[in-house]
Structure 1
Amino acid sequence: MANISSRKSAMTLFSSANCVMSHCARLVVHEKGVPADIEFFDPNDPPEDLLELNPNGNAPTFVERDLVLYDARIIMEYLDERFPHPALHQMDPVSRANARMLIKRIDQEWYPLLEEIQLHGDKKAAKAKKLLRESLIAAAPVFEATPYFMSEEYSLIDCAMAPFLWRLPSIGIDIAGLGKGITAYANRLFGRKAFQESLSREEKDMMQLASK
């Protein structure tokens, strides 16, 4: 494995500037106050030092000394365990397992629709957009029940939801049109200091372009 001892920080997060999964990992870095360098790169042209550590060159990739992680959800879990405060998971095994199941469900049901809308033509995107909008509206009681996603406390589930919700206006889904509960929830997440710090320039532009 490549020697990374010469890096400015013992920890580096290689990140795409507009990838939703990279954004999730960046958000946890900022929520936890992790002293990591965040290096943005073009996924179509990954830097050589990243390829030495992760031949796939995919984003996000997290490096700490001889540890290399390149799955966003694993990176998020690792950072929460590596830096215990503030905790983003409940301590008891049942709550942690339930949270992991919720994130997996979000990844399986909502994230693929977002990706389909972003990557495919108008006809296919329109169908996915309709499905996504209807699914979020159907989940309205969940967003209304507690301040955070099925919890009184901010957690890794919210770290998975915030970057996803941030991208909705850029794909033509008005958050305000999804109901008061999800609108209040999204604003609660977007208003957090760590979330604002996690935004890349391209991600800040997403909301500005969507509002035009």
Structure 2
Amino acid sequence: MVTVNTRRSVMTLFSSPTCALSHCTRLALHEKGVTAEIEYFDPSDPPESLLELNPNGTSPTLVERDLVLYDSRIIMEYLDERFPHPPLHQMDPVSRANARMIIKRIDQDWYHLLDEILNSGEKKSARAKKMLKESLIAAVPLFAANEFFLSEDFSLIDCSLAPLLWRLPDIGIDLPESASVIDAYAQRLFKRDAFHASLSEEEQEMAKVPVKK
């Protein structure tokens, strides 16, 4: 039997080209400046090379020698600890714990609704779209508080939010002028080199890539 160690001599990220959580992981990878192979695949038809490592064939899956991880948030945490510079978490335990709680809320409140929009029937999808739009608008003060989300420094929280905000036009959510601070925040993220590098060809079609100044 071929082992993971002999099959993968460099870090490899198996990723769906359209999955938002996979996009979060790719963004963290590029923000860290990590050299890795990104292998895009269709989640409905995962390749044998992936199934040998992760029988569930889920996206994303990170492979580094004998390590196999297949949860986006765990992978992002691993990358930040494995490659300390630049840090994407603040160093003190309280700030790191608070950041993890914020990401958990983003997943529970916003990514849950995104999943319903993309994978539910028309009626349920429309309800989820309305709820997501209203929830984002209600969070305007949080987006306005700092240059990045509740911080002066780019972090894993921003890695989690950028792919969600990038998909809003594609799912038919147009935020009102009263939520312009969210658009301004999103544009700051979209103009980062790492964000451009993180986009798959399919994701580039979801929204117009802004011209960098």
- When normalised by structure 2's length, the TM-score is 0.94
User: Which structure features the higher share of helix residues?
Assistant: 1
Q: Which residue of 2 aligns with 1:52?
A: 52
- Distance, in Å, in 2 between the alignment partners of 1:4 and 1:14 is 16
Q: CA RMSD in A?
A: 1.3
Residue type at the aligned position of 1:28: A
Instruction: Tell me, yes or no, if structure 1 residue 12 matches structure 2 residue 15.
Output: no
Correspondences of 1:38-117 after superposition (within 5 Å): 38-117=38-117
Tell me the distance in 1 between the aligned counterparts of 2:91 and 2:165. Answer: 27
Which stretch of the first structure deviates more once superposed, 149-158 or 177-186? Answer: 177-186
In structure 2, the partner of 1:170 is 170
TM-fit CA distance, 1:196: 0.6
Secondary structure of 2:3's aligned partner: coil
Letter in 2 for 1:125: S
Q: CA deviation at 1:175?
A: 4.0
2:3 aligns to what?
Answer: 2
- Could you tell me how far 1:123 is from its partner in structure 2? 1.5
Per the alignment, do residues 53 and 90 of structure 1 end up closer, same or farther by CA in structure 2, a change over 3 Å counting? same
**Alignment deviations for residues 92-135 of structure 1 (CA, whole Å, 9 cap, x no partner):** 00000000000000000000111111112222111111111111
- Deviation digits for residues 162-183 of structure 1 (CA, Å, limit 9, x no counterpart): 0011111111012455612101
Is the contact between residue 133 and residue 175 of structure 2 (CA under 8 Å) also seen in structure 1?
no
Unaligned runs of 5+ in 1: none
Residue 185 of structure 1 aligns with which residue?
185
Alignment-derived partner of residue 203 in structure 1: 203
User: What is aligned with 2:34?
Assistant: 34
| Corresponding residue SS for 2:207 | helix
- Residues 136 and 178 of structure 1 are in contact (CA less than 8 Å); yes or no, is this contact kept in structure 2? no
The aligned counterpart of 2:211 is none
Could you tell me which amino acid in structure 2 is paired with residue 68 of structure 1? V
Answer yes or no: is the 8 Å Cα contact 1:90–1:96 preserved in 2: yes
- Name the CA shift for 1:3/1:145 in 2 (closer, same or farther; >3 Å): closer
Percent of aligned positions that are identical:
68
Report SS of the residue matched to 2:63. Answer: strand
2:157 maps to which residue? 157
Write the distance in 2 (CA, Å) between the matches of 1:92 and 1:130: 37
Aligned residue identity for 2:90: Q
1:3 Cα offset (Å):
3.2
Of 166-175 and 67-76, more deviation after overlay is shown by 166-175
Q: Which runs of 5+ in 2 are unaligned?
A: 209-213
Structure 1 runs, 4 residues or longer, greater than 6 Å off: none
Measured against aligned partners, the alpha-carbon deviations of 1:124-165 in whole angstroms (never above 9, x if no partner) come to 111111111111111000111101110010000000000011
The Cα of 1:5 is off from its aligned counterpart by: 2.8
